[in-house]
């Protein structure tokens, strides 16, 4: 299992994110601190979003400045776990189309949701985990 972090504006809570996946295409489980999403036809491709505020302690001021500049001075951080890079890319694209986000790929790269969308459209085979 792999993981990365997404930052959202503080008004975006897990329930807001879960609404983006309420269609018939996905199986979803939601509680106050976690969302689990999978494709109905392939539950092996899962994506989990967890609210773990203590993660902020692992960020330096330069990284947080990037988030402040691109989200706001008030934000939420969510730990995302996944197995399939392609499914994770698909989920983040859905989120980034509707919500202003910053993605930390856990390999020393922070990017805005707009950058993430643009890159995945221009380079469909791009492995953003490297």
- Determine the average pLDDT of the residues in 78-82: 94
pTM of the full structure: 0.90
Q: At 124, is the pLDDT very low, low, confident or very high (cuts 50, 70, 90)?
A: confident
Q: What is the CA radius of gyration of the chain?
A: 14
Residue 44 has pLDDT above 90, yes or no: no
Nearest to 39 by CA among 80, 81, 91: 91
pLDDT in tens, 10-19: 999 998 999 9
pLDDT band at 129 (very low <50, low <70, confident <90, very high): confident
Helices of type H across the chain:
14-19, 61-70, 85-98, 113-122
């Amino acid at each position: 299992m792999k993981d990365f972090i997404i930052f959202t504006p503080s008004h975006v809570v897990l329930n807001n994110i879960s609404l983006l996946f309420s269609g018939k295409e996905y199986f979803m489980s939601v509680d106050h601190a976690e969302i689990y999403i999978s494709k109905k036809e392939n539950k092996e491709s899962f994506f989990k979003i967890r609210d773990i505020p203590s993660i902020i302690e692992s960020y330096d001021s330069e990284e947080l400045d990037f988030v402040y500049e691109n989200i706001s001075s008030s934000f939420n951080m969510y730990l995302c776990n996944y197995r399939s890079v392609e499914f994770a890319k698909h989920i983040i694209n859905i989120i980034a189309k509707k919500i202003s986000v910053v993605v930390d790929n856990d390999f020393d790269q922070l990017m805005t949701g707009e950058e993430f969308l643009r890159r995945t459209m221009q380079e469909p085979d791009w492995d953003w985990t490297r």
